[in-house]
Structure 1
């Protein structure tokens, strides 16, 4: 239920777990008040200054070093003993920096859009690690990586989007705390294999399959007994009558996202969607008349256009 509430909040407010203060400070101002800084988002040209002053930011909890074409991080980063979130998105790392193994409070690691080839074993020894974003690393050996992932005891959020996946490793069934899985933009996936495997992960609550050129959703979706949220954005080829039928067999699903899918009409019979609490249909092509009809057929569902 907590994850469902979080998903609903995300839809309306686009919340993030680690929000940032809107006021922009210079690095010099940050250093001068280092004891008060808990979140830091660096521009690329500020990276050198940060590297020289890192030891003064001992209360830092969130650090963003995005899109700077860096392949290594300062060794002194290990002195950030309170760091909980490290975002290295959009750089040129081929492996996760070894310095991370001494960040014992780290719970969120984002290495999306790098050039990862392997995952280091030490990730399993970071006791609080619970969220990893590996999206956009198509050269990563996922068969080998999965052997590391299943050793991360508290992993509950996993992002594998945009990785040219065709299947997902069978060993992932051992992720017995996984609650949210993102598989966006992997259009060649064998969905039956994926759902057969995911049905063994009893804790899974949110599944993202956006940007996958979907036509249908396999009927074995109903094997995911605890699934509450399904993200299907930007799938303009999806057959809605079939989707309605499949959702009807999945009473646990309460939120469906179908944004940006060039939809113009829905089938006459929408009873299969009647158990939904939220149906997100933003950025489609429904007429005002069709919107009214859809809402009237789903009086107990919050339909967002």
Structure 2
């Protein structure tokens, strides 16, 4: 799930772990071939106790999604080769200290759980680079961001679906952060958010899809470090205001405006002509308008 190129933003830039590995969906099958068990995606109906995970020392990716877990088996801490842990859509309120032993963990997905306090064990994982905290609205995100300053390699952060209204000022201190997802936070104060993010010097990609965005505050133009901007699913977005701000974002290379019921871009396309990629699929452009845009942006890869 790493950022690998501008075009990777199209597919949410997932790097497929274990492309040559077999996916095991039950503990029983994995225990029968423990040497091959590197990718474990359990269906939660397995009759084997999760404590037996400690026997699968070669596991690199572990998925325990939608399992109604209130706590994780402590045996996970013995999976020294684990690089990815996905426990989304459970009922977790804490993570045990045993997870501190996961020295190779680089990706953790905690979306859709019941955390009220940020699990501090996360700050002790030396290789951690990606954290998904989507749909954990009970968290105090000022405290979260303050603690995340200890995750030195963090460059990919999901804070989507958390009813955010503002962003903590400390977010600008996440010195390695390159990509931030803020999907479906419709009450987010964009003026304040852009002001904070403009100070986050390492930030390259910002995802703001499905945020009911209408006007584009002028503070967007302060984010001169941006290379990719995702605004999908915002059907009421003011394209004239967006166009005015884009002209000031000289480094922007990728813009996504998919699924937004757009029928026409502004007559003047100059604000878009420095883009490498303009993704407009899922909209309502006529063939005539598509041709006008293509002709007006000959050096941009325009996708309808």
Q: Are positions 1:41 and 2:41 aligned together?
A: yes
Residue 201, structure 1, aligned to residue 200, structure 2 = yes
Judge which range, 18-27 or 72-81, deviates more: 18-27
Aligned twin of 1:120: 119
Deviations 1:31-64 (A, max 9, x none): 2221122211111212x52614312211111111
**1:123/1:292 Cα in 2 relative to 1: closer, same or farther (>3 Å)?**
same
In structure 2, the residue matched to 1:16 is 14
Q: Does structure 2 retain, via aligned residues, the 8 Å contact 1:35–1:56?
A: no
Alignment of 1:1-305 (within 5 A): 3=3, 6-11=5-10, 15-19=13-17, 25=24, 27=26, 28-46=28-46, 48-49=47-48, 51-305=50-304
C-alpha separation in 1, matches of 2:172 and 2:247: 26
- Say if 2:23 and 2:40, in contact at 8 Å, map to a contact too: no
Question: Any unmatched runs of 5+ in structure 1?
Answer: none
- Contact 1:130–1:156, Cα closer than 8 Å, also in 2: yes
Match of 1:86, SS state, is strand
CA distance in 2, matches of 1:18, 1:95: 28
| Distance of 1:87 and 1:26 partners within structure 2 | 14
Q: Structure 2, unaligned stretches of length 5 or more?
A: none
Partners of 1:231 and 1:257 within 8 A in 2: yes
| CA distance in 1: counterparts of 2:12 and 2:189, whole angstroms | 30
Quick one: distance in 2 between partners of 1:208 and 1:150? Answer: 21
1:96/1:119 contact within 8 Å kept: no
Q: 2:224, 2:248 within 8 Å by CA — same for their partners in 1?
A: no
Q: Which has the higher helix share?
A: 1
Q: How many residues align?
A: 301
Q: What's the offset of the Cα at 1:122?
A: 2.5
Could you tell me how far apart the structure 1 residues matched to 2:22 and 2:32 are? 16
- Aligned mates of 2:185, 2:171 — CA distance in 1: 17
Q: TM-score, normalised by structure 1?
A: 0.93
CA gap of 1:32–1:10, structure 2 versus 1, over 3 A, is farther
Q: Residue 20 of structure 1: CA displacement?
A: 5.3
| TM-score normalised by L of structure 2 | 0.93
1:158 counterpart SS class: strand
